[in-house]
Amino acid sequence: MNPSIPEPLLAEFSRFDTCTIANAIESFGVRLRNEGFTDARVRCQTSLAGPMVGHAVTLRIRSGGPSMDGHRYFEGTTWWNAVLAQPAPRVVVIQDLDAGPAAGSFIGQVHAAILKVLGGVGLLTDGAVRDLPALAAAGFPVFAASVSVSHAYAHIVEWGGEIEVAGLKIRPGDWLHGDAHGVVSIPPSIGAGIPAAARRSLEREESILAACADPAVTPARLRAVLESMNPPARSGPS
């Protein structure tokens, strides 16, 4: 089980966009560069005042047909225990098990309000959402594959296990960071080093941008700037 994100790190993570966080993670070489983030199957459906940062809460739902026991999606609160089992702030992650586009939405204005009371700071799902203007006004970011006018037969079938949403494998308690670009998972083992690595990444980018903005820049000078940051790799045996 992952440790909770220390308060100082929460504040630090919120200072950076998700692309910079991804750059920082890459610098540690702890996972492949094509892993650990959502793909184009989901996108941010609401405006954001800042990055979404929190601990993952995992659910699996179906929306294309009624539940086996006949209960509707909003009946019962037992699944709240899975939300409260993770430390705040909490990002609810929902995998829709139906094949094809989601028939209905589990999360809309009402459930977003409930989740905020439960310490929720956002939603990630490969299913559908609705009530987008109300979600934006409430400051509840949602990352989803689609929108739906109805909740159809949306109902929870499982909570608390490992799931996969838009190519990202997620376990309860995983550290998630999301903005308009998508959602990335931060390995706790390198969490403490992420802020410094993110700042180094930004400093490197700023140096390149400053060189590009120099009226006197030439391709040769720009190449020299880049080479000073990235010494060429040796091409043969020593």
Instruction: List the CATH number of the domain containing 77.
Output: 3.50.30.40
Examine the domain organization and report whether 71 and 167 are in the same domain: yes
**Is the residue at 165 inside a domain?**
yes
Examine the domain organization and report whether 125 and 211 are in the same domain: no
Q: Does residue 70 or residue 211 have the better pLDDT?
A: 211
Distances (CA, A) of 225 to 75, 220, 231: 61, 9, 10
Query: pTM above 0.75?
Result: yes
Examine the domain organization and report whether 162 and 214 are in the same domain: no
Examine the domain organization and report whether 105 and 45 are in the same domain: yes
pLDDT at 41 over 60: yes
Domain count, the chain: 2
**Is the residue at 189 inside a domain?**
no
Spatial contact of 62 and 98, defined as CB atoms under 8 Å apart: yes
**Is the residue at 78 inside a domain?**
yes
Cβ within 8 Å of residue 208, ≥6 positions away: 225, 226, 229
**Is the residue at 24 inside a domain?**
no
pLDDT at 102 over 80: yes
Examine the domain organization and report whether 76 and 138 are in the same domain: yes
The pLDDT value given to residue 213: 94
Average pLDDT, the chain: 91
pLDDT at 66 over 90: no
Examine the domain organization and report whether 47 and 153 are in the same domain: yes
DSSP code of 57?
Answer: E
46 falls in which pLDDT band (50, 70, 90)? very high
Cβ within 8 Å of residue 137, ≥6 positions away: none
CA-only gyration radius of the chain, Å: 21
Residues in the chain: 238
Examine the domain organization and report whether 49 and 160 are in the same domain: yes
Examine the domain organization and report whether 48 and 138 are in the same domain: yes
Examine the domain organization and report whether 88 and 149 are in the same domain: yes
Examine the domain organization and report whether 222 and 133 are in the same domain: no
**Is the residue at 120 inside a domain?**
yes
99 falls in which pLDDT band (50, 70, 90)? confident
Examine the domain organization and report whether 165 and 223 are in the same domain: no
Cβ within 8 Å of residue 87, ≥6 positions away: 4, 5, 55, 173
Domain that holds residue 94: 40-174
The pLDDT value given to residue 238: 39
The dihedrals phi and psi of 164, each to the nearest 5 degrees, come to -135, 130
Cβ within 8 Å of residue 213, ≥6 positions away: none
Examine the domain organization and report whether 139 and 66 are in the same domain: yes
**Is the residue at 128 inside a domain?**
yes
Say how far residue 206 (Cα) sits from the centre of its chain: 25
CA distance 215 to 111: 54
Cβ within 8 Å of residue 232, ≥6 positions away: none
**Is the residue at 195 inside a domain?**
no
**Is the residue at 47 inside a domain?**
yes
